[in-house]
Chain A
Amino acid sequence: MDWTRFFNVLIDGVQLGSVYALVALGYSMVYGILKLLNFAHGDIYMIGAFIGFGVLTVFGGPLSPNLPLAPLLLLMFLVAMLGSGFLGVAVERFAYRPLRDAPRIAPLISALGVAFFLENSALLLFGSQYRQYNGFELIGTGGFFIGTVKITWINLLVVSSAAGLMVALMLLVSRTKLGKAMRATSFDREAAAMQGIDIDRVIVWTFFIGSALAGAAGVMAGLAYSSIYHYMGFTAGLKGFAAAVVGGIGSIPGAMAGGLLIGLAESFTAGYMNGTWKDAVTFSILVLVMLVRPTGLFGKPEIKKV
């Protein structure tokens, strides 16, 4: 067995999984609190990638940036996260909030409409051509070796910043007052409201944080895979979705584990079989998990009460 190849594929999988996990977190958090599948989430990730690219272009583009690398990357992440966050809040305010007490199917259709609106607006604004982040020009193809396995700086950057964001999220949810309010709201929205928690504020923050994570994931995808285009959000959204469900929708560690699992599965399919069929592999995992354990790996079984 060729172990170098194995580990290369593994590293690719972890990198892809980190991106999916960040996307999945947004789905999962929103679902946990509103019980709403936010189909527009993938497109917020796409917009985040374009915002990051815009910042990069303003500062000279990937080939001749006129800022040192570290502040430039920081600025790209920051602006993309802020922009995506505000976009997510706007989507919630105008598309989902009016439907909070509507039948379950209504916000789903609205979400579908928002996703399509964002995607085509991006097509209108940015055109259909692929934009190149040129991550390897920007950051360099260098890296370090563990044995014969090369880990590039981009690998390291993507995985470590994703891990950092997830740790920050975990701390936020478990340690702060806002996190407590989020957990309470997701446990029982009405009861939380009766305890004096401002539900609207919690929901707005949830959308902001989830969308900001998606925006960061968009920039990471741009750096790691270079090409960004208006349709990228749809597939990434589906994968993030699958990751959230596999891990147990509504559960934060579940979304991380699910993201990693999906990322690894895709990377091994592409590395050892045929890259065309990675969607099929993800789909099979999804269906399998839903048949065997519908609540996902980390989800708690839901008891229906009347």
Chain B
Amino acid sequence: MAGKRQNPDEITPRIGADEWVGREQELRLARRGVTGWARSLVERIPAVVWLAVFLGIAALLPLLMNTGDLNRYGLNVAIFALLALGLNVAVGWTGLLDLGYVAFFGFGAYTYALLSSPHCFTDTACGVHWPGWATVPIAVAATALLGLLVGLPSRRLSGDYLAIVTLFFAQLFLTVAANGDRVSALGLTGGVNLTGGPNGVPEVDPIEIFFIRPTTVEAYYFFTLAALVVVAAVLWFLIRSRTGRAWTSLREDELAAELMGMPVNSLKLLAFSIGAGIAGLAGAILAAEQTGVFPGNFDLSILITIYAMVILGGAGSMPGVVLGAIVITVVFEVLSPTTNPDKISLMFYGAILVALLVKVRPLWRLAFVLGGTVLLGYVTHTIAHAISASATQGQVVSGGWLGDAIESIAVVPLDPGDWPKYAYVALIVAVLALTRLDGWRRTLLMPPTLVLTVFVWENLLLLQPTVTRFILFGALLVVMVAVRPQGLLGKPRVEIV
């Protein structure tokens, strides 16, 4: 790293230092500042207390929200948290890149749906309605078994091959789900409707476990929460067991683990299939909760969303991935066409402002960036208005006081044409350039970048929130892995040379 100033606080690999010394250095660094204080506080409180706090807040949610919001923010968070915990077993603990995870989610959902719905396999074989205490375990076990089968061909191969096979498997699952309405064995039989094709399987029964029969959103919310707690508790003990320790050692150094006599292949398959089983459980709950399954529920954007949760929260840390699930699901649900654009904008500008307040130091630099942005925005607004009156007459999508404020510094033409698209590309280039610059050059480039951001946001991104959220998740994966690979709550890795 010639030319770049060495940060004395950075944890650098040291020759001859063992793991314990490395950890000690890392702990010393982690204890400093507000975040360090918060982290040591978090670590000192026992896990049970955290669980109680989490459950206490979670139990209050139905009182604070209406049914629609509870479905979007409560139930979805719970289901995605379950999914993130399952993926964490494979990715976070064992270090296996499972890209077929979303297919396991779908397989569990379809298994449940086919065993408890009026779905017709052939003209005569209709309506299997098994009770939930049978179908949910079947869905979980079948998915875990499927995970085992998918893992088998790549068991002796490096992690890369597992990624290929699983990614292909996810794609194959989608093909089967979307085209499985006329499956015939080599043209001999009349054709079996296996998956309902693009229409999916509608009218799925609620999960009936003895006397429990959830039918409302509230009931499913509590049911999923209970499942989440059970799964989290099992995993909490599992990672502290012999098997759990073996998984993490496998992740750190596969060869060393093998030399210590660990059954590497079985351990990998076990992790893989436990993760798949949890996805199957989440799938069964989803199928019952939305009373139907559709191929679109399990496409690759959901996979990326779950990955974003695990990476953001911190792969390997259970509270981390749950936090990741909460944050990402809220972003996912807020960035949808049904949300009021005011709220989206408020969150967007709020997030940028908070990031600037936290990251830009010293204060004169922060003042320069904020002042420069407002000034530059005002100047461009005035110039654009002088050139053509229609260039600033478009409706700012954000409303209220925020809209008024943005109105005076943003250029929102009546008919922007392709300009927002060019600006989007320019914005990407500017952001990439920012990462390469430092010192005053970076400070100088920031106001124009921010003005460009406002322009692109108001004219392009805010109009297509669903696309925007996936762009954000994709970028989030790249940025997190490079800047903070341990995520929000994960432990940084100490490299031992």
Among B97, B467, B476, contact of A108 (Cβ-Cβ < 8 Å): B97
Among A31, A95, A102, A104, contact of B478 (Cβ-Cβ < 8 Å): A95
Q: How far is the CB of A122 from chain B (nearest CB, A)?
A: 10
User: Nearest chain-B residue to A94 (Cβ)?
Assistant: B432
Q: How far is the CB of B47 from chain A (nearest CB, A)?
A: 26
User: Nearest chain-B residue to A113 (Cβ)?
Assistant: B477
Among A114, A123, A294, contact of B161 (Cβ-Cβ < 8 Å): A294
Contact residues in B for A110 (Cβ distance below 8 Å)? 477-478, 481-482
Q: Mark B403-444, 1 if CB is under 8 A from A, else 0.
A: 000000000000000000100110010001001000000000
Q: Mark A253-277, 1 if CB is under 8 A from B, else 0.
A: 0000000000000000000000011
Question: Would A238 and B156 be within 8 Å (CB), given that A110-B481, A290-B161 are in contact?
Answer: no
Asked if B159 and A104 make an inter-chain contact with CB atoms under 8 angstroms apart, the answer reads yes
User: Nearest chain-A residue to B310 (Cβ)?
Assistant: A109
Contact residues in B for A277 (Cβ distance below 8 Å)? 175, 179
Is A98 at the interface (CB under 8 A from chain B)?
Answer: yes
Asked if A115 and B474 make an inter-chain contact with CB atoms under 8 angstroms apart, the answer reads yes
Interface window among B3-11, B21-29, B61-69, B166-174: B166-174
Asked if B474 and A290 make an inter-chain contact with CB atoms under 8 angstroms apart, the answer reads no
Among B255, B425, B461, B471, contact of A304 (Cβ-Cβ < 8 Å): B255
User: How far, in angstroms, from A4 to B422 measured CA to CA in the complex?
Assistant: 49
Interface window among A174-182, A204-212, A278-286: A278-286
User: How far, in angstroms, from A291 to B164 measured CA to CA in the complex?
Assistant: 14
Asked if A113 and B161 make an inter-chain contact with CB atoms under 8 angstroms apart, the answer reads no
Contact residues in B for A117 (Cβ distance below 8 Å)? 471, 474-475, 478
How many residues of B are in contact with the other chain, CB < 8 A?
A: 51
User: How far, in angstroms, from A300 to B481 measured CA to CA in the complex?
Assistant: 32
Q: Mark A75-112, 1 if CB is under 8 A from B, else 0.
A: 00000000000000010001100110011111111101
Is B304 at the interface (CB under 8 A from chain A)?
Answer: yes
Contact residues in B for A157 (Cβ distance below 8 Å)? none
Among A102, A119, A241, A280, contact of B481 (Cβ-Cβ < 8 Å): A102
Is B297 at the interface (CB under 8 A from chain A)?
Answer: no
Q: Mark A39-53, 1 if CB is under 8 A from B, else 0.
A: 100000000000000
Is A287 at the interface (CB under 8 A from chain B)?
Answer: yes
Question: Which residues from 458 to 473 on chain B have a C-beta closer than 8 Å to any C-beta of chain A?
Answer: 460-461, 464, 467-468, 470-471, 473
User: How far, in angstroms, from A112 to B163 measured CA to CA in the complex?
Assistant: 11
Is B95 at the interface (CB under 8 A from chain A)?
Answer: yes
User: How far, in angstroms, from A112 to B428 measured CA to CA in the complex?
Assistant: 18
Asked if B157 and A279 make an inter-chain contact with CB atoms under 8 angstroms apart, the answer reads no
Is A70 at the interface (CB under 8 A from chain B)?
Answer: no
Among A35, A98, A234, contact of B300 (Cβ-Cβ < 8 Å): A234
Interface centre among B97, B301, B474 (most CB of A within 10 A): B474
Interface centre among A39, A103, A113 (most CB of B within 10 A): A113
Is A192 at the interface (CB under 8 A from chain B)?
Answer: no
Q: How far is the CB of A44 from chain B (nearest CB, A)?
A: 14
Is B144 at the interface (CB under 8 A from chain A)?
Answer: no
Question: Would A103 and B474 be within 8 Å (CB), given that A37-B164, A94-B435 are in contact?
Answer: no
Contact residues in A for B169 (Cβ distance below 8 Å)? 283
Is B485 at the interface (CB under 8 A from chain A)?
Answer: yes
Between A and B, how many residue pairs show CB distances below 8 Å?
134
Among B97, B164, B471, B473, contact of A105 (Cβ-Cβ < 8 Å): B97
Q: How far is the CB of B53 from chain A (nearest CB, A)?
A: 30
Asked if B307 and A112 make an inter-chain contact with CB atoms under 8 angstroms apart, the answer reads yes
Contact residues in A for B428 (Cβ distance below 8 Å)? 121
Q: How far is the CB of B481 from chain A (nearest CB, A)?
A: 5
Contact residues in B for A279 (Cβ distance below 8 Å)? 168, 171-172, 175
User: How far, in angstroms, from A290 to B151 measured CA to CA in the complex?
Assistant: 12
Asked if A286 and B478 make an inter-chain contact with CB atoms under 8 angstroms apart, the answer reads no
User: How far, in angstroms, from A120 to B95 measured CA to CA in the complex?
Assistant: 27
Is A306 at the interface (CB under 8 A from chain B)?
Answer: yes
Q: How far is the CB of B6 from chain A (nearest CB, A)?
A: 16
Contact residues in A for B167 (Cβ distance below 8 Å)? 39, 238, 241
Q: How far is the CB of B203 from chain A (nearest CB, A)?
A: 26
Is B153 at the interface (CB under 8 A from chain A)?
Answer: yes
Is A146 at the interface (CB under 8 A from chain B)?
Answer: no
Question: Which residues from 197 to 221 on chain B have a C-beta closer than 8 Å to any C-beta of chain A?
Answer: none
User: How far, in angstroms, from A94 to B433 measured CA to CA in the complex?
Assistant: 10
Question: Which residues from 11 to 40 on chain A have a C-beta closer than 8 Å to any C-beta of chain B?
Answer: 31, 35, 37, 39
Is A245 at the interface (CB under 8 A from chain B)?
Answer: yes
Contact residues in A for B157 (Cβ distance below 8 Å)? 290, 294
User: How far, in angstroms, from A114 to B470 measured CA to CA in the complex?
Assistant: 11
Among A116, A290, A306, contact of B304 (Cβ-Cβ < 8 Å): A116
Is B493 at the interface (CB under 8 A from chain A)?
Answer: yes
Asked if B482 and A98 make an inter-chain contact with CB atoms under 8 angstroms apart, the answer reads yes
Interchain residue pairs with CB less than 8 A apart (20): A39-B167, A95-B482, A104-B95, A104-B160, A105-B97, A106-B485, A109-B97, A110-B477, A113-B304, A116-B301, A116-B474, A117-B474, A119-B474, A120-B467, A123-B467, A124-B424, A124-B467, A279-B168, A279-B175, A290-B161
Q: Closest 7 A-B residue pairs measured CB to CB?
A: A113-B477, A117-B474, A116-B474, A113-B478, A120-B470, A98-B482, A120-B471
Seen from chain B, the residues whose Cβ lies within 8 Å of a Cβ on chain A are 91, 95, 97, 99, 153-154, 156-157, 159-161, 163-165, 167-169, 171-172, 175-176, 179, 255, 300-301, 304, 307, 311, 421, 424-425, 428, 432, 435, 460-461, 464, 467-468, 470-471, 473-478, 481-482, 485, 493
